[in-house]
Structures are given as C-alpha cells and as structure tokens.
Amino acid sequence: MAQNITTGFHDLVDRANAEVETVSIEAARAMHGRDDVVFIDIRDVRELAREGKMPGAFHAPRGMLEAWIDPQSPYHKDVFAQDKTYVFFCAGGLRSALAAQTAQQMGLKPVCHVEGGFGAWKKAGAPVNEPEPRG
C-alpha cells in the first residue's frame, strides 16, 4: 500500500516561517561579526566543501541539531548555552526555517533564519571563505 503523505515539505516550511523570524541578507550582514550573535550553518559537510563557508559561523549539521542544543544530551555543544541571538542558515532558506523553528520550540531564543540562505549571502557579495581546492 502506498503511503499517504498528508503534510508536504513546503507546508512544513510555511508553518515554520509563520512562527520564526526571517531576516533579509541586509539584516544578516549587519548582524554578522557582532559579539551577541551566533550564525549557525546547518548545511551538510559536502555543501560546505563545495560552496564555501561564512566566516565565523558555527557548523551544526541538521541531523545533530536537537542533540547539540539540549544541555541534557551527551552531545550538547556549549555554543548553544550562550545568551546570544542565533541566526540559522542553510543553502536556500528552507531547511533553516525548520531548524530555527525546532530550536525555538526547544526553548533557544532569540532565533531567526536567513532568507535565501547561503546562496543569497554569497550572491550579495557578503564575506565567504571559499572552499579549499581539491587536488
């Protein structure tokens, strides 16, 4: 019997965007480098190797996010225990909406995510650590 998926990916993203603040590239650029802000890159390691990285961003793969946020988890990362604003981003702004929603539901605050993600960041000429050449 075929599965009957009743809620699609884009429906989930729309719900997340309704609950979580979305910041423009301009706003993200203004926040970048501030001591009270942590950018969280949830992209896969292969995406980082292919596309480059935002300077100073903390890499938290989407699959580990909940375990890294939870202070009761053996996998907890101290970066999530700070009194800072957490700005999530992915490649295009869809997965980061879901990640920011999850973080917010867990009690992390304040959180937001970047509209258009790393792709928009890079296209806008914002700072990027380019990937290492393969050789």
Count Cβ atoms within 10 A of the Cβ of residue 91 and give its class: 0-12 exposed, 13-18 middle, 19 or more buried: buried
Question: Is the pTM for the entire model greater than 0.75?
Answer: yes
Give 62-96 pLDDT, tens digit per residue: 999 999 999 999 999 999 999 999 999 999 999 99
Give 16-68 pLDDT, tens digit per residue: 999 999 999 999 999 999 999 999 999 999 999 999 999 999 999 999 999 99
Fold that domain 10-123 belongs to in CATH: Oxidized Rhodanese; domain 1 (3.40.250)
